[in-house]
């Protein structure tokens, strides 16, 4: 079961709480899902989407940031996440693993595509809701 427990939470300014929560969840998502999604994209030959994943890794906030900077980062991250989600939705689950004999690849690839897609939907919705506040 997936559960999120916040062990550290600090609200820098009034009105920033939903943005801070979304930022924390984005960070946690990147830590947990980046490698699996990266492998799926590499196996499927999805270079443009791989670039979007790399761009997510490059996002950062300067010390002393405020709600406006968090919002800007999350808006940029949301665009990149939507590129990734669109790529996964448009790909055949077994497209990246067709064998030399023309047979479908292993079911594990299919499972990773579905898992990555579901987690991408989760984090995308989280960011959309936070940015709507």
Query: Can you give the CATH number for the domain in which 82 is found?
Result: 1.20.120
Domain that holds residue 59: 17-95+102-131
Is 90 part of any domain? Answer: yes
- Decide: 111 and 79 in contact? Cβ < 8 Å: no
Is 24 part of any domain? Answer: yes
Residue 90 CB contacts under 8 Å (≥ 6 apart), including other chains: none
Task: Give the residue from 123, 122, 109 showing the smallest Cα distance to 41.
Answer: 109
Is 5 part of any domain? Answer: no
Q: What is the pLDDT of residue 4?
A: 45
In the numeric block, which tokens belong to residue 12?
A: 């820098």
Longest dimension (CA), the chain: 60
Is 39 part of any domain? Answer: yes
Mean pLDDT in the chain? 81
Q: What is the pLDDT of residue 105?
A: 56
Is 31 part of any domain? Answer: yes
Look at the chain and report how many structural domains it folds into.
1
In the numeric block, which tokens belong to residue 54?
A: 């790399």
pLDDT at 22 over 60: yes
Euclidean distance between CA atoms 97 and 91, whole angstroms? 12
pLDDT at 97 over 60: no
Is 9 part of any domain? Answer: no
Stretch 96-124: mean pLDDT:
73
pLDDT in tens, 25-84: 999 999 999 998 998 888 888 888 999 999 999 998 888 888 899 999 999 999 999 999
In the numeric block, which tokens belong to residue 131?
A: 């940015």
Q: What is the pLDDT of residue 76?
A: 96
pLDDT band at 8 (very low <50, low <70, confident <90, very high): very low
Q: What is the pLDDT of residue 80?
A: 96
Is 3 part of any domain? Answer: no
Burial of residue 108 (number of CB atoms within 10 Å: 0-12, 13-18, 19+): exposed
Phi and psi angles of residue 128, each rounded to the nearest 5 degrees, phi first: -60, -45
Q: What is the pLDDT of residue 14?
A: 55
Is 2 part of any domain? Answer: no
Q: What is the pLDDT of residue 93?
A: 58
């Amino acid at each position: 079961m997936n559960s999120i427990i916040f062990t550290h939470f600090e609200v820098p300014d009034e009105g920033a709480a939903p943005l801070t929560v979304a930022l924390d969840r984005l960070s946690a998502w990147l830590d947990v899902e980046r490698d699996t999604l990266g492998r799926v994209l590499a196996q499927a030959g999805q270079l443009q989407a791989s670039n979007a994943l790399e761009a997510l890794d490059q996002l950062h906030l300067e010390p002393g940031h405020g709600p406006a900077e968090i919002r800007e980062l999350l808006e940029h991250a949301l665009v990149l996440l939507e590129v990734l989600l669109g790529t996964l939705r448009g790909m055949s689950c077994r497209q990246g693993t067709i064998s030399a004999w023309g047979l479908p690849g292993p079911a594990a690839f299919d499972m990773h595509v579905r898992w990555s897609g579901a987690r991408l939907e989760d984090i995308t919705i989280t960011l959309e809701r936070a940015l709507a506040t």
